[in-house]
Amino acid sequence: MSDRGDARPAAGKARRGSVIKAVPPHDVVPNTRELQERAKLADEVAAALGRVRSTAQNWRTGMAGLITLVTATLLFKGRNSISDYVSWVRYSIGALTALALIAGVASLWWFLLAAYGRPEVVSAQSVIDQGGVAVRDVLLAQAARKDLKFAQLLAIVSAALLAAALILSWYGPAETSSPPAFASVKVRHPSGTEAICGSLVAQNGTTTELRVKGEPDARRIPTADLVSVVLVSAC
């Protein structure tokens, strides 16, 4: 009994010592400033998707112009200009240009996705499930920005590969053309003319020496019997 009597005064003292403060209720009705901020935020959300897609269209136009220029240059110059280089330079320029065109075309595809979005069937219920038109615009803007970043990366890679191919075409070693090392001659005989091709060893006003493949010694031909002499790179 004494324990209960002691507990009650202690509880009463605790209640008398506590202080309860009045808290004003939260104002659920927004004021004018909050309404203005919400309107600005809604406009920002609505314009974000348009800005991202406009940027993607500008990048797509520039990349399409670059690819057109490179393709036209390759078509007009053809293989005549690239054949002047040594073999490894020719292969390197061809590989770099091909990779640059592949990356450029891929970037155009991703720029199109960023500018116009992915084709899909959208229902009113799916928009409601996403949280409304404003939330859907935010999600579309995020997806478009992701596609735009990837397309920009591909475009930069394409431009870098083209720059490497251009630098290699400027400073790459050219193939040295070897002078003609063989002579194709026509020799006059009483029975007609004979065509002979071989390595020109020596020639003077009297004798012309040709080393013909398959013969152990150089063939000596009187220079006066020669009808024509043509220097060729190979027999």
Q: Does the pLDDT of residue 233 top 60, yes or no?
A: yes
pLDDT tens-digit series, residues 9-33: 544 554 555 555 555 555 566 677 7
SS (H, E, C) the chain: CHHHHHHHHHHHHHHHHCCCCCCCCCCCCCCHHHHHHHHHHHHHHHHHHHHHHHHHHHHHHHHHHHHHHHHHHHHHHHHHHHCCECHHHHHHHHHHHHHHHHHHHHHHHHHHHHHHCCCCCCCHHHHHHHCCHHHHHHHHHHHHHHHHHHHHHHHHHHHHHHHHHHHHHHHCCECCCCCCCEEEEEEEECCEEEEEEEEEEEECCCEEEEECCCCCCCEEEEHHHEEEEEEECCC
> What does the pLDDT look like over 36-64, one tens digit per residue?
676 677 677 667 778 888 888 888 888 88
Supply the pTM of this predicted model.
0.55
Q: What is the CATH class of 182-232?
A: mainly beta
Q: Could you read off the pLDDT of 131-140 as tens digits, one per residue?
A: 777 777 778 8
